[in-house]
Amino acid sequence: MTSARSNRNGSAPAEGAVGGASRTAPESAARTTAAPTPAAAAASTRTPERGIPEATVARLPIYLRALITLAERGIATCSSEELATAAGVNSAKLRKDLSYLGSYGTRGVGYDVEYLRYQIAREIGVTQDWPVVIVGIGNLGHALANYSGFTSRGFRIVALLDSDPARLGELVGEMRIRSTTELEAVVVEHDVAIGVIATPAPAAQEVCDRLVAAGVTSILNFAPTVLSVPAGVDVRKVDLSIELQILAYHEQRKAMNGPEGPALTRVVETA
Amino acid sequence: MTSARSNRNGSAPAEGAVGGASRTAPESAARTTAAPTPAAAAASTRTPERGIPEATVARLPIYLRALITLAERGIATCSSEELATAAGVNSAKLRKDLSYLGSYGTRGVGYDVEYLRYQIAREIGVTQDWPVVIVGIGNLGHALANYSGFTSRGFRIVALLDSDPARLGELVGEMRIRSTTELEAVVVEHDVAIGVIATPAPAAQEVCDRLVAAGVTSILNFAPTVLSVPAGVDVRKVDLSIELQILAYHEQRKAMNGPEGPALTRVVETA
DNA sequence: TCCAGTTTGTTCCCGCGTTCACAAACTCCT
DNA sequence: AGGAGTTTGTGAACGCGGGAACAAACTGGA
């Protein structure tokens, strides 16, 4: 385990004061005590202090995936330009992002794929597996349970929970669906920090409250509803219909610009 | 053909929307990388009319959903404060967002729920249904096909396509799985502008190319890979493992601050 | 050793988005 | 009618992120 997570259980579930996550909370990173994690092995002398911009954090997994792809092709070294192309971003942005982690490249040469891959994985925290529990095993829950991307990228599903008695015991992949009554026990037993909610919207808040009360501090929410959580708990949401609606907005504008609009734009047609 | 889309298929496809190439990946459109629409009409000299910030567009669907919830509860009027709480955002931000659409509120009173709901739906473009095609009917594709949020929020699934012969003809919901060989025909027949890719990563780019060539100009990508598209095509991606990795990063930091760190983060556990 | 070529890491600048704070506008009560 | 209370809409300040440009650092050849 070694997971430094402590038991913050027992706290009141309660709906947090503020809605939404505190992820963006600036929290002036005081941390005056000199050199936390002092003498970090041999590497760098000056730990740039842990303060990676949120936008960069969101891109690190993309870089990681690109690096894995490159490694599978047997490529040992790559330039920022190559990696940026593989990740679909600007090379300047890539270099700046990586600079927040430290100086892991070599000027005039580029980056060592395996080395950089490990460094990013370590920074994200996926060098070991995080236990994850999925609540709500409907169509989407099934898909998530079977999604190989979870288990292969630093996560391990430890339980599938559903409140429908008809589903209990059903096998999904290699895992059996268990009752939501076991939620607290599962979270405590496996020291689960990350929970995935794939229930219908009406049930999401209650499940969320129970997860948080049991000790979960990060939640990935697929239910189309706004979750209230206490400070210190991160929530990320994935809403499929919202994504489509954003696309629809732009489609509508294209259609409006088309007929009469100032369409002095370019037509770029690929093969 | 219900939508405002005109004939863009045969003759001049894609007209490269001014305001943006690809939403999530600003310059990911590797190919061609033609001059990013210099000048263009982006700078509408005046009339802030059609120029809603991207961040606001991403929130409009959230407001819409909150308004629908309020309407179902029989609430006819609400203040920006109430709506903001329901949507999980700051009230000032909400008001500024809505101000881009126009002045649909009444000072001293608030917003008429039904009226505002319609105005947002109209602005997004979901007062009528958009035809959508889903490619790749694996676990995730099944979930998407059965997701009621699509059909109830301005979208209509017109075809489910898969390349696996074993799956052809299978019923999903009320729809039959068809072969990807019919992709072009389906897109043209229903004038599909929005495509959803739920295939394995290796197949995603080819499917994407075919969709675009057939006339699709907006793509929602669930495959864990970077898509290259011509200018004028919007791509939004949903990557489940990336979302989890972002949570893992923050979890790791919490665990680091917890034990020894000065941790100003204050784990605030509300009463 | 020195020089040319290459690529990283960093600095500077600019534009977008968020937030505060306040004037404008509406309702209600006296 | 008028004033107090309420709420919207918006101008301005501010901080963050993106992009270009450049110095620093490394390789390889003469």
Residues (pLDDT < 70) of chain B are: 1-50, 258-271
User: Average pLDDT of A235-243?
Assistant: 96
- % of chain A surpassing 70 pLDDT: 76
Nearest to B270 among A17, A60, A150 (CB): A17
User: Average pLDDT of A100-126?
Assistant: 97
- Residue among B149, B238, B67, B133 nearest A139 (CA): B149
- Alpha carbon separation from B49 to A143, B44, B53, B103 (Å, rounded): 42, 9, 11, 12
Under 8 Å between Cβ of A221 and A238: yes
Q: Over 50: is that where the pLDDT of A181 sits?
A: yes
- What is the least distance, in Å, from the CA of A108 to any CA of chain B? 24
- Residue among A271, A140, A165, A118 nearest B238 (CA): A140
Model-level pTM?
A: 0.84
Under 8 Å between Cβ of B67 and B117: yes
Q: Is B137 helix (H, G, I), strand (E, B) or coil?
A: coil
Under 8 Å between Cβ of A147 and B240: yes
Residue B134 tokens read as: 């889903």
Distance CA(A51)–CA(A28), nearest Å, equals 10
**B119 CA, D14 C1': Å apart:** 32
pLDDT digits (tens, 9 = 90+) for A215-227: 999 999 999 999 9
Nearest to B18 among A20, A32, A265 (CB): A265
Under 8 Å between Cβ of B116 and B67: yes
pLDDT digits (tens, 9 = 90+) for A38-86: 333 333 333 445 589 999 999 999 999 999 999 999 999 999 999 999 9
Nearest to A241 among B4, B149, B244 (CB): B149
Taking an 8 Å cut-off on Cβ atoms, the answer to whether B64 and A220 are in contact is no
Distance CA(B255)–CA(A6), nearest Å, equals 8
Give yes or no for B240 touching A (CB within 8 A): yes
- Residue among A6, A47, A88, A83 nearest B269 (CA): A6
CB neighbours (10 Å) of residue A262?
A: 10
Strand D: positions under 7 A of a protein C-beta atom: 5-11, 15-21, 24-27
Q: What is the pLDDT of residue A260?
A: 54
Q: In this structure, which amino acid lies at residue A21?
A: A
Residue A82 tokens read as: 């190559």
Q: What is the pLDDT of residue B114?
A: 98
Q: What is the pLDDT of residue A33?
A: 28
Nucleotide nearest residue A108, measured CA to C1': C7
